[in-house]
């Protein structure tokens, strides 16, 4: 059998704090709905002296159960506009930062792709260079083998001639091709 713990009941202060927040939210909604009235908006647009407008808003708030003075209504609206403006600027700045970050990421990806292509080209060049070097070595080895074979053949003739002790005839002399190789 498991025992379930009941959460501790809320204290009077906590309940009052929640009520206070809920009431403040409701009051702000009421204030905004009054200020959103088209007639009030027309009066606020371009008006530098709007004390009468705030007086009217305070009276309407009173009819809905909120006792606020015109200066309190004015200050509350100013604070909300300021917060909205700051939030808007923050969002714009955040958007700019995110766009710059996205651009940086795209640039980094493009740079990575360019480095990859460059690396592939270098590898291909290195392969071609190795194949060319191998081909040149094979050709040099083939020429060396031909020279060695011709030289050994001539050396064999020379040894044979010396062992026979006969003079070397013109037919036994190395050809021009063999002389070039020597």
- Phi–psi pair at 8, nearest 5 degrees: -60, 140
Long-range contact list for 67-74, CB < 8 A, 24+ apart?
Answer: 73/31, 74/50
Kindly list the distances between the CA atom of residue 94 and the CA atoms of 98, 99, 104, 123, in Å, as whole numbers in the listed order. 6, 8, 15, 43
pLDDT in tens, the chain (182 residues): 445 555 667 776 776 666 677 778 888 888 888 888 777 777 777 766 778 888 888 888 889 888 888 888 888 888 888 888 877 777 777 777 777 777 888 888 898 999 999 999 999 998 999 999 999 999 999 999 999 999 999 888 888 877 776 555 666 665 555 555 55
Domain ranges in the chain are 12-68
CA dist., res. 114 & res. 157, Å (int): 64
Rounded to the nearest 10°, the torsion over CA 63, 76, 38, 56 is 40
């Amino acid at each position: 059998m498991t025992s379930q713990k009941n959460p501790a009941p809320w204290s009077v202060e906590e309940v009052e704090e929640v009520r206070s927040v809920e009431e403040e939210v409701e009051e702000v909604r009421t204030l905004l709905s009054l200020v959103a009235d088209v007639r009030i908006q027309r009066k606020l647009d371009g008006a530098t002296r709007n004390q009468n407008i705030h007086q009217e808003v305070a009276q309407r708030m009173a009819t809905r159960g909120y006792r606020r003075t015109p200066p309190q209504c004015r200050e509350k609206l100013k604070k909300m506009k300021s917060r909205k403006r700051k939030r808007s600027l923050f969002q714009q700045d955040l958007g700019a930062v995110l766009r710059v970050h996205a651009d940086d990421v795209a640039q980094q990806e493009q740079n990575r792709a360019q480095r990859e292509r460059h690396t592939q080209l270098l590898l291909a060049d290195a392969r071609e260079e190795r194949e060319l070097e191998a081909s040149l070595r094979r050709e040099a080895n083939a020429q060396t083998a031909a020279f060695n074979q011709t030289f050994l053949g001539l050396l064999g003739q020379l040894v044979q001639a010396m062992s026979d002790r006969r003079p070397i005839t013109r037919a036994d002399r190395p050809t021009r091709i063999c002389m070039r190789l020597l």
